[in-house]
């Protein structure tokens, strides 16, 4: 998506570079946030996520089964800027 948008912008330049970057940032953030929320996580956009924190979802989590391989929160470590839905 980013590559195609870059090619389009280089050919058309119908909007400013900053506007294209903002547009792509919003689309990408919405996709990441939506995926996280599907798995019960809320990511605070104003709080950085620690680079060494890993969120893992097993197939069992996707199916709603109790025997998931990840820990009960699905977040390894404190999650940085991440919290389960309904938690602060």
Per-residue pLDDT, 74: 43
Note the pTM of the prediction, 2 decimals: 0.53
Lowest mean per-residue pLDDT among 50-54, 55-59, 83-87: 83-87
Domains of the chain by residue range: 1-38, 43-88
Per-residue pLDDT, 46: 85
Instruction: Tell me the C-alpha distance between 31 and 22, whole Å.
Output: 14
């Amino acid at each position: 998506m980013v590559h195609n948008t870059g090619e389009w912008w280089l050919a058309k330049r119908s909007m400013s570079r900053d506007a294209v970057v903002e547009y792509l940032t919003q689309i990408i953030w919405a996709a990441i946030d939506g995926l996280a929320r599907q798995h019960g996580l809320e990511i605070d956009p104003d709080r950085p996520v620690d680079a060494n924190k890993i969120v893992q979802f097993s197939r069992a989590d996707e199916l709603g089964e109790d025997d998931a391989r990840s820990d009960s929160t699905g977040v390894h470590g404190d999650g940085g800027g991440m919290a389960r839905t309904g938690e602060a």
